[in-house]
Amino acid sequence: MTKPKNDDKLLKHQKLRYAEYYGMTEIFDDLYSKSQKGFSFKNLMNIIISPENILLAYRTIKRNGGSQTEGVDGVTIKDLENLTQEDFISKVQRRFQYYRPRKVRRVEIPKPNGKKRPLGIPSMWDRVAQQCILQVLDPICEAKFYKHSYGFRPLRSADNAIMDCMYRMNKSHMTYVVDVDIKGFFDEVNHTKLMRQIWTLGIRDKQLLVIIRKMLKAPIVLPNGKVTYPTKGTPQGGILSPLLANINLNEFDWWIGRQWEERDCKELVPQYNSKGTRHKSHVYRKLRTSTTLKEVYIVRYADDFKIFCRNRNEAERTFKAVKLWLKERLNLPISEEKSQITNLRKKSSEFLGITLKLVSKNNRLVCFSHIASKAKKRIKHQLKQQMKLIQIKGAKETIIREIQKYNSMVIGIHNYYSMVIGIHNYYSMATHVSKDLEEIHYQLYLSFKNRLQAKGLTKIGEYKGKDKGLLPYLQSQNIRYLMGYPILPISYVKTRTLKGRNKNLNRYTPEGRKLIHKQQESVETWKLKWLREHSIINKRATVEYNDNRISLFVAQKGKCAVTGQELDMDDIHCHHKRPWLETKDDSYRNLIIVGRDIHRLIHATNEKVIKNLFQLLNLSDTGLTKLNQLRELAGNSPLLKENLNLEQLC
């Protein structure tokens, strides 16, 4: 059985790297630190509209898969790439100065239950504006968010949320759980309440608050063409919406936390361990023996949350209090039919596609987890649909392409709130995932065999491809081959051991970042600053060109790609491999960093100039080979040592 890689083992984090490139790391650290100390922020717009923050927003958005999706104006990231860096920055700054959001395009995404989830797609310019705001607000809010909320937060995942639930069941002996379902949470957020909550967090830049309110009130174009003007809600699909949703429910998190976990007994002397972490066990003992307070713990992922209680009485009291608080305090509607109290010893409770239940094992109660029944139906349906696509394809190339899609559904990357792909990667956190997927495998087996037998399905095959992710699965007895390509068995999986989240992981502290990735050290910080301050400014130097110029310089460790020598800052040239006049291509793969003389030699056609430059550079055979490759791509003939007659120049 194969065991997927643990996503918690983060070697690096791309967004951190981007912040380093644009010199925003220290600024974000400062915002986080001040927020922890309770500062009020009244001049955030200066940071939001800074060129560095705007360029960082561009870089982040262009890496997003949704950047190719059009808004109502038909603009995509491709249209922004062709702007010069100066034009791009000035356009964003002007939009903030007189901000008026464009209409949001509403699309409806099918849900597994047959219903549709409405998504709002802002225009590309509004997405850039939202990303600029998000980058600055995120460190401020992270300092204030509750420790047991996990959805839409950096360095937190569904794994962490499930692990937290298991801890409450296994270690804290919480046998009851309260579920309160909020009807259409994202569409029901009260704007007035939300703006007050933002103010309470210390975000008090009035210009920024006006802009956020305008974003919330942006008109929506429905699929039928009708335009509506929202009075409540944060549109799903907006870049800023997840953060605003967390701000709205953060007050609820802390209200629950202060009922017990964050409650303090002022008469007790605080106690700390050797690492400086405060012990709370004696506080909890005091609360249990001298008060009638309810012992409750919350675990929240977006608008899904579990509130754990010790007994039925406390659960019922909590259930009533929570429903009343959400209705009266946040003006959120409650679904009575979906809200319930569950005795975890008798019945399982579902959370993020996983069911949790306490089962007696070795004279103690242990949490057993399974794939939820709805999730199993969804997995079975999607695998069947993909199997049909494999069956109807005729050409070998298209069949293999569909098999690759099938395999990606089994082991690819999974996002709980999107299409269920990467079944093993996500659901392997369940303690009994093997049993659940064996059941699905048995149900699919006959269909699998009947549909693909005629196409040459075999048990024996030899995979010669380069995809290392497939190799562990080749040991399975249930592996099958079609046209020599392996079809991965859904049943070949092992439970992944969940580990508690490292509390020291933090994107906004130097100590926390060391646990996430190794800081970029191949290029000195002052050199990156010089590159940012000396961007290429001409009609051909687009924002995409300058962004990739920085990435390439770091990737090449500040050295020439041909000579391998470290470059002086005034000697850096960013060369188009295939001529820009022919391709208009500023992508990363079409650019390379070389020295000034190498750049001249790539384009040189004059024999005397070539000889002089060649003698000056004294290239090695390897360097000459690299140079000739670039010359050929540029449409020039390769250089041969024997044809240069260097002795004539001496």
**What is 597-636 written as a DSSP string?**
HHHHHHH---HHHHHHHHHHH---HHHHHHHHHHHHHTT-
What local confidence, expressed as pLDDT, does residue 330 receive? Answer: 95
Amino acid type, 149: S
What local confidence, expressed as pLDDT, does residue 107 receive? Answer: 86
Which position has the higher pLDDT, 353 or 294? 353
DSSP 66: G
Answer for the pair 245, 137: CB distance below 8 angstroms, yes or no: no
Q: Which of 51-65, 402-416, 481-495 has the lowest mean pLDDT?
A: 402-416
Q: Is the pLDDT of residue 225 over 80?
A: yes
What local confidence, expressed as pLDDT, does residue 489 receive? Answer: 92
Which position has the higher pLDDT, 646 or 567? 567
Q: Which one of 149-163, 458-472, 507-521 scores highest in mean pLDDT?
A: 149-163
pLDDT one-digit tens code per residue, 534-557: 999 887 889 999 999 999 999 999
pLDDT one-digit tens code per residue, 205-216: 999 999 999 999
**Torsion of the alpha carbons at 35, 36, 40 and 41, rounded to the nearest 10:** -10
Q: Is the pLDDT of residue 650 over 70?
A: no
Among 164, 157, 130, CA closest to 61: 130
pLDDT one-digit tens code per residue, 440-492: 999 888 888 888 888 888 988 888 888 888 888 988 999 999 988 999 999 99
CA contacts within 13 A on the Cβ side of 438: 10
Beta-carbon contacts of 209 under 8 Å, excluding residues fewer than 6 positions away, are 195, 198, 199, 203
Percent share of the chain, pLDDT over 70? 92
Place of tokens 């990735």: 517
Round the average pLDDT of the chain to a whole number and report it.
88
pLDDT one-digit tens code per residue, 279-324: 677 677 777 777 778 889 999 999 999 999 999 999 999 999 999 9
Q: Is the pLDDT of residue 3 over 80?
A: no
Q: Which one of 72-81, 230-239, 628-637 scores highest in mean pLDDT?
A: 628-637
Work out the average pLDDT over 403-407. Answer: 90
pLDDT one-digit tens code per residue, 240-251: 999 999 999 999
Q: Which of 31-40, 217-226, 412-421, 523-532 has the lowest mean pLDDT?
A: 412-421
Angle at 442 between CA 439 and CA 446, to 5 degrees: 155
Q: What is the pTM of this model?
A: 0.89
Q: Which of 170-179, 408-417, 462-471 has the lowest mean pLDDT?
A: 408-417
